[in-house]
Amino acid sequence: MQVFHHVASLREALKAARRDGKTIGFVPTMGNLHDAHIELVKRAQTMCDVVVVSIFVNRLQFGLNEDWDKYPRTMEQDMARLRGANCDFLFHPDESEIYPNGMDLQTKVICPAMTDVLCGASRPGHFEGVTTVVAKLFNIVQPDKAIFGIKDFQQLAVIRRMVEDLCIPVEIVAAPVHREDDGLAMSSRNGYLTEEERPKVAILNQTLNWARGEIENGRRDFAALEAESKSRIESAGFRVDYFSICNSRDLQPAAHDDREITLLGAMYTSAARLIDNVSLSM
């Protein structure tokens, strides 16, 4: 695996790969890699000749009082995992490489659609940070395909819209949620869970699946179903951020005749905010 810290040297290496007719796959991450990240790398390897993984903890997408300072940074373990997965290129820039003029003066990419609801309502400015850094990374790597996990469904939808609106020539590939045995979606923030909380947090995924089953069985009283779902999660001892039944494409509240529906939920533990989602076709 070749490791790059600078944009110019990574571009030179990728230019050589393209001259040889190779396709480029890209997996952007913030590090603290787990099995779900490695699954994204493996998926990219099945679709492209060369795979680039980036590790950059993007301060621009963290809000006030969020966990940027304590976000886990595990570079040695991450590099070992990527080498074990036969990753080709690792791009690990420092902040000055990504924001050479400083973040206060950084040109920002704003996607007005779908960013002020769900996670966007709870984390003002978060998606502006995500779209800005992802647009920059796409311009740096210029991949043929970029692979994102469905666990961050709103992020995936926002990035798809950004790519469409800005005519960025990259195919966005969605990878299934990678889960623990009890259904908990893998996340770097799962490490914040206490021993007491860990057996209980599966309630989020269980409730999403219960609500999906209710819809599949014909229920269309979505507001009531959202309220019942929130009560289930609260009864397990967690504070609900949101539980929403949405149109899968634009994340607006689902209509009774929508054909593609996604149920999204977020809840707070003592030190973490967990998100998950499930989808269905009518």
Binding residue positions for beta-alanine = 61
Radius of gyration of the chain (CA): 19
Beta-ladder partners of 262: 246, 279
- Binding-site annotation, residues for ATP: 30-37, 149-152, 186-189
Catalytic residue flag (residue 178): no
Residue 154 near residue 190, CB atoms below 8 Å: no
Ramachandran region, residue 118 (left: φ > 0; alpha: ψ -120 to 50; beta: rest): left
- Binding-site annotation, residues for (R)-pantoate: 61, 155
Nearest Cα to 244, choosing from 269, 200, 276? 276
Question: Which residue among 5, 6, 37, 178 is the active-site one?
Answer: 37
- Angle of the 126-141 helix axis to the 7-19 helix axis, nearest 10: 50
Tokens found for residue 4: 């790059």
Residue 225 near residue 256, CB atoms below 8 Å: no
Residue with tokens 């990574």: 10
Tokens found for residue 96: 């000055």
CA atoms of 271 and 191, how far apart (whole Å): 10
Nearest Cα to 208, choosing from 267, 276, 120? 276
- Binding-site annotation, residues: 30-37, 61, 149-152, 155, 186-189
The DSSP bridge pattern shows strands 145-149 and 171-175 to be parallel
213: Cα within 13 Å, side-chain hemisphere: 7
69: Cα within 13 Å, side-chain hemisphere: 3
Residue 130 near residue 155, CB atoms below 8 Å: yes
Catalytic residue positions? 37
